[in-house]
Structure 1
Amino acid sequence: MGKVKRIVRSACRMCHGVCQVLVHMEGERVVRITGDPESPISRGYLCPKGAASPELLYHPDRLIYPLRRAGKRGENKWKRISWEEALDEIAHRFAAIKAESGSEYVAICQGTGRPLIEFTVRFANAFGTPNFVSVGHVCYLPRVAASKITMGQLPVTDVYGFGGKDPECMVIWGCNITHSGSADGMCGGMIERALKRAGKVIVVDPRRTKPATDATHWLQIRPGTDGALALALIHVIITEGLIDQDFVHHYTVGYEQLAEHIKPFTPEWAAPITRIPPEEIRAAARTYAALSPACMLWGSATDASASNYQTARSLLILRALTGNIDCPGGDVLWVPPKGVQQKSIFMSYEQDGAQFLPPDKIGRAVTLGKYPLERSIHPPTFWKSVVTGDPYRVRAMWIAACNPLLSQTHPLVIEKALRDHLEFTVVSEFFMTPTAALADIVLPSAMWLETDDVVNLHKIWCVLARKKVAQIGEVRDDREVILALAKRLGLEAAFPWEDYRAYLEWVLRDSGMTFDEFSDRGILQGEMRYYKYKVNGFDTPSGKFEFYSSISEALGLSPLPQYREPALSPLSSPQAAEQYPLILTTGARSRVFFVSEGRQIDSLRKANPDPIVEVHPATAQSLGIAEGDWVWIETMENRIKMRAKLFDGIAPDVVSAQHAWWFPEEGPPEYGWKRSNVNLLFGDTAGYDFETGSECLRSSLCKIYKVEMTMNS
């Protein structure tokens, strides 16, 4: 008899979209992933990353059991050990350092918002270390902070039609979700569907993305100047009387101060900054204000800037001025399902375990107070502290779901910290990476097909079931590992569950369902209610949407939105621009890679085999560069190699470089991480946002030239 074929309904986690999928099984083997056509969140959509899940699951190079370093760091000599040995050693080393130096001498590092974030931050706080390192300062958290301070909760684009309306106007601001497949719990397929139904589309992006091609207004902005454009749009809407009178006068505070504040920020003021003609700014503002409901999908392009918090505040203010908050088809505040414990640290601030951090440790963070809105430790400052010992040198670190040599700036400093200064480093990963190669212990992480979960990190309005269908080697869910380590370290108050399955049952305890029953159902949805502010107000000190932010003022920040020019740009650094005449924007989302992940997957790598830098054809011709040439991208910090792709959808003085490139096929010790790693191009010269510590990764200065050319030619 042949192997029994069956289909298991689950939720993909190859990126941030969390689309519902069908897992096709033959016996115990996963053979194919397809989109679930009955899913209300994705309607059968599946991106290439999701389809490639079986390739990741069964990849021959996966880490499948714990390893202990057996040679020098980076020498690629390892000894297989048991999980008990690994956990006992980690617990012993962490506990010894805590006793000898203090809990703050152990740091936790995590990359993008993986599901384990519900435990990593909690573990750090429970252990007693304020040193939790993440890249949130350039991705997502500035928007979360601005939303929390301005209106109490992050608004999300309403494209599902629960209220009987689709968006009449859609603004896509610094987000390429229809190409990448997802962002922040939003499915690219659902955005494509909404774009087709919308009457008008406004795209703000320096690159001609797919939505920009057919948009009513494509505002081709100079990279890094989003805040200036937002202020000019606010100016037009206020001065032309295009506001929603009812919302502004009954549910907001500070309108008079905003109206006075906004007077200088005319489209004529913004035009030379943004390079968008005044008449285009006015036309876009009128379109956005005239059509209701309108929604705005924003991306991480606004986060990696010189004024990300203030820009996010401006974009929230645009929503409020036009009355597009919490209305059907607008930007809504989702209602979570009843009976399910909220796991998202973005919705429940108790989930991150801040209540367990000893008060005397709050002042012991490496970078505490440097940036008033930082919720985690500023990565560049942290890594420098490990190398310099200023203000003190962290001794041990656990790096989970993160490859900082590729995903963070100052990677040469990070390499030195990992190789020469940290006494003990643990890395949890799918594969051996350049970062893991410098660890003392490497732990094999389970991927989404190997985990059970109640999924609600980003979705909010629903929770999804993820069902374990496979087990390769000895891989473990990172949350199981954290629970096991927490028990060894006496952290039961923060982690009272017997095991990970007991935790999942606790999450569902008020729903009346066991995890198995929930898995059979697949999804639980909240009962969406709109215009909740009319009854409940907003979760702010005033109870209203705050144009004039009382919390910002209390923190010593501007209570009204501002714009700051990037420290390294053609306007702020004309002398540097003479030597480096091109604007370098990085981080445009890939359809086939998720940050640094996926370079080992054959089907994904075939679609994007080499690192790409987009160059305008006229610029390429003037520099003697042809399609496919290897070119140097050089900044005042360093230079890297990428292949040129000629693209007339960017300005002639702008180049767009892919990020997080390494070459797993080259093997240890470095896996080619220094050749095309765009983060080698950034230093302190571009400055940091003084509110969040953000870095200007989308608007630096560079020059490019063919690899065959000399550096001085």
Structure 2
Amino acid sequence: MIDLERCFGCKSCEAACKQEHRLGPGEYRNKVVWLGDADEGGLDFLTLTCQHCERPACLRACPVNPKAITKDPLTGVVEVIEDRCTGCGECVVACPYSAMGYDPAGHHAVKCDLCPDRRAEGLEPACASICPGHAIQFGERSGLLERAASEERTVRDHDHFLLKPQTIYLERIGGGGNAAGGNGGGGGSSVHPPAGLGRRPAFADAPGAQKVFVEKGPAFPYGEAREDAAPDRVEAGGCNICFNCCSVKFHFRGKELVKITGNEEDPVLKGKLCPKAQFTLQMYHSEHRLTRPLKRVGKRGEGRFEPIGWDQALDEIADKLRGVREKWGAEALAMFVGTRAGLITKSGYARLFSQMWGTPNFEGTDPFCASGKSIAYDLTQGAVGSGNSYTPGDMGSAEMYLYIGDNQAETRPVYFGMINDWRIKNRARMVVVDPRRTVTASKADTWLPIRPGTDMALALAMAGHILTCDLHDQKFCAEWVLGWELWRDFILEKGYTPEWAEPLTGLPAGEIRALAEDVARADGCVIFGSRGLNQHTNSVQTNRALMFLAAITGNWGRKGGTYFNMTAGPPIAPDAPGERRPKIAKPRIRRSPAGWIEAMRTGAPYPVRALIACNNPMAQWPGQDDAREAFGSLDLLVHIELFQNETSAFADYVLPAAGGIEKGEVGRTNDDRR
């Protein structure tokens, strides 16, 4: 059964199918199609897969004798017998549901057969087991229909060709973020049209996507025989691609990593996983990875290097660092460590090195990503992160979900899948405030297209309306919120009303009032913020205003109510022993590495002459022309990465880094703090 309301187009099912069946590029057994765009009323997502029809057109069209397509009389599963198939394409043309694929290397048809090997082991098909949104559900047809009826869902009639398709599709629920605004009272915007009807694909495969990789082996793990990749051991671990840090299982054949799946033993995620984690399989084996140290032989920026040994690289780097310290002082070294390096590396090894070297200029990517919300949390509650958890009794019990500057459906799909599932089960309300009609907005009851950078004005106006109308949680404020009266008086004195915010935000005052009343009256509202707030001007004060909004409505420290801005992590920040830490003679230049550029270029407030960096500061730091000039002036630039990038071209030495599973680490952070 495929639930069109729960599907948000993450394509995790595609990734799982490709891994399970070793499918090549452009080769699909199932495929998720994005339909429409913002100008056409938002996005819909339609999973194309075999319908396992009672009267399959593909079987009747197959000209091979004996047939290359069979139908199991007991299970009803329609399957391609690949060694019989001649690749004539008759079944592809005959299938009206676009369910047939083609293997251009083996010259035969491919289609979903519901993973018979997995079913024989008592497992679900790969797509159903990993789908973050619970959009693909597997079981007896009668049981699935009963489940749909219990949620009062509408089953789509898609038997227009009299083939009796057995795959069930559940229609979208009314609302669906189909129009900007809404009635503000819980009904959302107008009824959503059936997904896929009269809509065009939002994008398609690029030309040449059907070409077969010539290369084979670990770097190109798809298109190989499935039996050649059967794992002989499984190790539990974590994904370090994004801040979800999802638990995964790494499947090995000998020393070769052959598959990445979710960990069904995880009590929170329960084996769900997004495609990013699955496709790190390609990253680990890519032929483009750095494997040997490189030394610059051309001018900075030319990207000309020669490979050298580790001993030579480390000895030469150490000599140059000593020269910088002797001439300019220890503070002339700056270190920039990306968060994907892991907590032990970033907050452990690298931090300890900077302290023992004697430089205050050590930083990660936080100033460009999330420092605003971290400072706001510290000022508001004294600690970073929400204490709430992704459980049905906590965040799943909210009556309302409000997303402001957070496209969780695309950035953290496993967690959005849980929120969207609870929204449907509990008939909760979802509102998305975002300049773009995002994937998250496509699932919302109401989408409010705010003018970029005016989220704080919206929060202040909502608070002003709530306080003016005495809609705040007076008992909670009196018992738990320090200084709320001062903030109330400030808000009212400044005249922060919906009418004041309307010309700033571009949102009608009536919609601002309705949103404020919905938040105040909901029995539990989870307010989500993210990069849309954290990476904009006034990010600290915007986050604080939204935290205050949550507090005055009683949505703090309770189940089903919180302000939730990304992640929290274990406090790993050891200090080197005092006797190993030289006295730092000069203060830190700035918290943001952007301030280092001026020190590199002009020597103010003091010179920075050496940089050790991972990640890609050339692409992250503001003012790239200034960054190029600054990097070109350094006495030493050491770049540590998995792959060469823009920063590598300016480096004196490029050192290969180890990926997450190769070095072992502690997961950096997680949306659910457990």
TM-score normalised by structure 2 residue count? 0.61
SS at match of 2:235: strand
8 Å Cα contact 1:379/1:408 also seen in 2: yes
Q: How many residues align?
A: 439
* Structure with max Cα Rg: 2
In 1: Cα distance, 2:527 partner to 2:364 partner: 26
8 Å Cα contact 1:38/1:44 also seen in 2: yes
8 Å Cα contact 1:229/1:274 also seen in 2: yes
Alpha-carbon distance, 1:319 to partner: 1.4
Alignment of 1:137-536 (within 5 A): 137-156=367-386, 158-161=389-392, 163=394, 166-181=397-412, 187-197=415-425, 199-263=428-492, 264-331=495-562, 348=571, 350-351=573-574, 361=584, 363-367=586-590, 376=591, 378-400=592-614, 402-419=615-632, 421-458=633-670, 461-462=673-674
In 1: Cα distance, 2:586 partner to 2:568 partner: 22
Alpha-carbon distance, 1:84 to partner: 2.8
SS at match of 1:43: coil
In 2: Cα distance, 1:146 partner to 1:357 partner: 34
Alpha-carbon distance, 1:359 to partner: 9.4
How many percent of aligned residue pairs carry the same amino acid? 32
8 Å Cα contact 1:159/1:166 also seen in 2: no
In 2: Cα distance, 1:16 partner to 1:312 partner: 19
Residue in structure 1 matching 2:285, options 42, 58, 80: 58
Q: Which amino acid aligns with 1:61?
A: H
8 Å Cα contact 1:271/1:277 also seen in 2: yes
Alpha-carbon distance, 1:387 to partner: 1.4
Alignment of 1:536-547 (within 5 A): none
| Structure 2 counterpart of 1:72 | 299
In 2: Cα distance, 1:117 partner to 1:352 partner: 13
Q: Which amino acid aligns with 2:650?
A: L
In 2: Cα distance, 1:319 partner to 1:355 partner: 42
Alpha-carbon distance, 1:350 to partner: 4.5
| Structure 1 counterpart of 2:269 | 42
SS at match of 1:453: coil
- Larger RCO: Structure 1 or Structure 2 (Cα < 8 Å, ≥ 6 residues apart)? 1
In 1: Cα distance, 2:457 partner to 2:304 partner: 53
8 Å Cα contact 1:126/1:356 also seen in 2: no
Q: Which amino acid aligns with 1:412?
A: D
Alpha-carbon distance, 1:358 to partner: 6.7
Gaps of 5+ in 1: 335-343, 368-375, 463-713
8 Å Cα contact 2:293/2:654 also seen in 1: yes
Alpha-carbon distance, 1:29 to partner: 1.3
Alpha-carbon distance, 1:189 to partner: 3.2
| Structure 2 counterpart of 1:561 | none
SS at match of 2:258: strand
| Structure 1 counterpart of 2:362 | 132
1:243-286 alpha-carbon deviations (Å, 9 max, x no partner): 22222101122122111111110000000000111111111111
| Structure 1 counterpart of 2:77 | none
Q: Which amino acid aligns with 2:457?
A: A
In 1: Cα distance, 2:546 partner to 2:242 partner: 25
Is 1:86 equivalent to 2:317 in the alignment?
Answer: no
Alpha-carbon distance, 1:117 to partner: 2.1
In 2: Cα distance, 1:52 partner to 1:20 partner: 15
8 Å Cα contact 2:384/2:568 also seen in 1: no
In 2: Cα distance, 1:192 partner to 1:354 partner: 48
SS at match of 1:65: coil
Q: Structure 1 residues 312, 122: closer, same or farther in 2, change over 3 A?
A: farther
In 2: Cα distance, 1:353 partner to 1:251 partner: 38
In 1: Cα distance, 2:579 partner to 2:423 partner: 45
In 2: Cα distance, 1:432 partner to 1:214 partner: 38
Alpha-carbon distance, 1:163 to partner: 4.9
8 Å Cα contact 2:369/2:531 also seen in 1: yes
Alpha-carbon distance, 1:362 to partner: 7.3
Q: Structure 1 residues 233, 49: closer, same or farther in 2, change over 3 A?
A: same
Q: Structure 1 residues 270, 360: closer, same or farther in 2, change over 3 A?
A: farther
Q: Structure 1 residues 4, 379: closer, same or farther in 2, change over 3 A?
A: closer
In 2: Cα distance, 1:257 partner to 1:300 partner: 29
8 Å Cα contact 1:20/1:41 also seen in 2: no
Q: Structure 1 residues 188, 94: closer, same or farther in 2, change over 3 A?
A: farther
Q: Structure 1 residues 63, 165: closer, same or farther in 2, change over 3 A?
A: closer
Q: Structure 1 residues 251, 347: closer, same or farther in 2, change over 3 A?
A: farther
8 Å Cα contact 2:389/2:673 also seen in 1: no
Q: Structure 1 residues 458, 95: closer, same or farther in 2, change over 3 A?
A: farther
Gaps of 5+ in 2: 1-226
1:281-323 alpha-carbon deviations (Å, 9 max, x no partner): 1111111111122212211111222211111110110111122
1:459-513 alpha-carbon deviations (Å, 9 max, x no partner): 5733xxxxxxxxxxxxxxxxxxxxxxxxxxxxxxxxxxxxxxxxxxxxxxxxxxx
Provide the alpha-carbon RMSD of the alignment: 2.9
In 1: Cα distance, 2:519 partner to 2:577 partner: 40
8 Å Cα contact 1:267/1:282 also seen in 2: yes
Alpha-carbon distance, 1:27 to partner: 2.2
1:29-50 alpha-carbon deviations (Å, 9 max, x no partner): 1112122233233233222221
Q: Structure 1 residues 452, 350: closer, same or farther in 2, change over 3 A?
A: closer
In 1: Cα distance, 2:420 partner to 2:314 partner: 46
In 1: Cα distance, 2:361 partner to 2:328 partner: 14
In 2: Cα distance, 1:168 partner to 1:439 partner: 53
8 Å Cα contact 2:251/2:258 also seen in 1: yes
In 2: Cα distance, 1:22 partner to 1:28 partner: 15
In 2: Cα distance, 1:164 partner to 1:391 partner: 48
Q: Which amino acid aligns with 2:375?
A: A
In 1: Cα distance, 2:573 partner to 2:320 partner: 28
Alpha-carbon distance, 1:399 to partner: 0.3
8 Å Cα contact 1:158/1:167 also seen in 2: no
Alpha-carbon distance, 1:424 to partner: 0.4
Residue in structure 2 matching 1:98, options 292, 301, 325: 325
Moved more, 86-95 or 434-443: 86-95
8 Å Cα contact 2:610/2:637 also seen in 1: yes
In 2: Cα distance, 1:225 partner to 1:332 partner: 18
8 Å Cα contact 1:144/1:346 also seen in 2: no
In 2: Cα distance, 1:4 partner to 1:346 partner: 32
Q: Structure 1 residues 9, 135: closer, same or farther in 2, change over 3 A?
A: closer
8 Å Cα contact 1:128/1:361 also seen in 2: yes
SS at match of 2:397: coil
In 2: Cα distance, 1:151 partner to 1:411 partner: 36
